[in-house]
Structure 1
């Protein structure tokens, strides 16, 4: 059974020492969705509401979430992000606004938290852009689809119903 790495022997939180780890190419892809009620879905399909184009602002918000992950997650290491790719997809039938965030860097620790932070912050921005029309939205789930690099190598986590392959 794997042990929790962010706890010291007494069970107190600690930041993991990654100084002995090899620097490797790291990549992570995460996705998630915001489920919208009919008024919010109609506003998104029209291109937005009173605040403008929600997709553009959500994409910028997702990049900001990636860049601020170590500020939001107390034990996450700050990483030198090299690339962020944000993609969106509108599923009109299920009324789901999907975001996919792919992040890469070279480093000593994984970049999954950055990808997940990007997805969730981007979806929160989308909520903020549409809430003038309706508060009938539900955030999530969001999850990791793929990670590459590090000790475990490549990990692929398929998600049935997700518009993207891991």
Structure 2
């Protein structure tokens, strides 16, 4: 079993030293969804929510969250992201909104946490904006879909 890189030899938390790592192009994509009542999804689709444009607000929140990941996750390095894309699709058959985020940079550490954070906060924003009409919403399946770059190379969910 490999050791945890965020722990030193005494078992204390530490930020991984990436000083000597090479700069490489890195990309990560994550996804997740928020399930809701059909009436809630219909209200969002028709733009009838009293709080405004739910989907645009969620997209912006996801982008902002990716940029703030190191402020939220204690051992994450602050990164100079070169691209954050948050895609939102509506699934009326499953009564859910699907979120996918892709983050890119050229740097010394990966962007998986930024993509996962973007998806999480986009889903949380939808929940926050719609909780007054649907407290039964469920945020689900937040996961890394693929990543590339760095020493560990490429990985893709099967």
Query: Which category describes the TM-score, using the shorter chain as reference length?
Result: over 0.9
Structure 1 equivalent of residue 102 of structure 2: 102
Measure, in 2, the Cα distance between the counterparts of 1:82 and 1:74. 22
| 1:14 aligned residue | 14
Q: Is the 8 A contact 1:112 1:147 kept in 2?
A: yes
Aligned partner of 1:59 in structure 2 is: 59
Matches within 5 A, 1:17-166: 17-158=17-158
Q: Who is 1:162 aligned against? A: none
Structure 2 unaligned blocks of 5 or more:
none
Aligned length: 158
Shift of 1:2: 1.9
CA RMSD in angstroms comes to 1.1
Over 3 Å counting, the alpha-carbon distance change for 1:17 and 1:46 in structure 2 is same
* Structure 1 residue 136 displacement after superposition: 1.4
TM-score by length of 2: 0.95
CA deviation string 1:52-93 (max 9, x = no partner) = 111100000000110110000000000001011111111111
**Distance in 1 of aligned mates of 2:37 and 2:140:** 14
- Report the alpha carbon displacement of residue 108 of structure 1 after superposing the two structures with TM: 0.5
Per-residue CA deviations over 1:4-58 (Å, capped at 9, x if unaligned) read 1111112111100000111100110000000112332232232241111111000
Q: 1:70 to 1:43 in 2, by over 3 A?
A: same
Displacement over 3 Å in runs of 4+: none
